[in-house]
Amino acid sequence: MEPENYKTLQVSRGFTYRYFSVPAKGSGNKTILFLHGFPNADTDWRHQVSFFKGRGYGLIVPNLLGYGGSSKPTDPAEYRQSLMSKDLVEILDKEGVEKVVAIGHDWGAYVAGRFALFQPHRTEAVGFITVGHVPPSLSPKFELEPSFEITKKRFGYEVLGYWEFFASLDAPKVSMDNFETFFNILWPDDPKTWISDMAPLGALRKALEGKKVLPAPRWMSEEDKRLISEPILKNGLEASMCYYKLHVQGFGAEDDQLLAGKAEIPQPVFFLDATDDFIAGEEYFMTALGHTESPVKKYCKNATVKQVKVDHWVMLHIPDKLNDMLLEWMETF
Three-class SS of residue 303? strand
Residue 183's pLDDT is 98
Please tell me the predicted confidence (pLDDT) of residue 261: 77
Do residues 328 and 319 lie in contact, with contact meaning Cβ atoms separated by under 8 Å?
A: no
pTM value? Answer: 0.97
pLDDT tens digits for 225-266? 999 999 999 999 999 999 999 999 999 988 999 998 799 999
The chain-wide mean pLDDT, for the chain, equals 96
End-to-end CA distance of the chain: 27
CA proximity to 133, closest of 5, 300, 262: 300
User: 58-62 and 16-22: which strand pairing?
Assistant: antiparallel
Domain extents for the chain?
3-140+258-330, 145-243
Q: Which helix (H) or strand (E) holds 33?
A: strand 31-35
User: Residue range 94-99: average pLDDT?
Assistant: 97
pLDDT top residue among 170 and 3: 170
Measured CA to CA, the distance from residue 204 to residue 171 in angstroms comes to 10
What are 73-92's pLDDT values in tens digits? 999 999 999 999 999 999 99
3-state SS, residue 17 = strand
Task: For domain 3-140+258-330, say whether CATH 3.60.15.10 is its number.
Answer: no
3-class secondary-structure state, position 142: coil
3-class DSSP state for residue 184?
helix
The length of the chain in residues reads 333
pLDDT at 142: 84
**Of the candidates 204, 143, 142, 132, the residue with the CA atom closest to the CA atom of residue 175:** 204
Nearest Cα to 93, choosing from 67, 72, 111, 119? 119
CB 70 within 8 A of CB 16: yes
- CB–CB of 315/321 below 8 Å? no
φ and ψ at residue 292, rounded to 5 degrees: -95, -5
- Could you give the maximum distance between any two Cα atoms of the chain, in Å? 56
Amino acid, single-letter form, for residue 276: D
The pLDDT value recorded for residue 113 is: 98
On the question of pLDDT at 307 being above 80, the answer is yes
What is the pLDDT averaged over residues 185-207?
A: 98
For residue 26, what pLDDT band results from cuts at 50, 70 and 90?
confident
Give yes or no for a cis peptide into 39 (omega within 30° of 0). Answer: yes
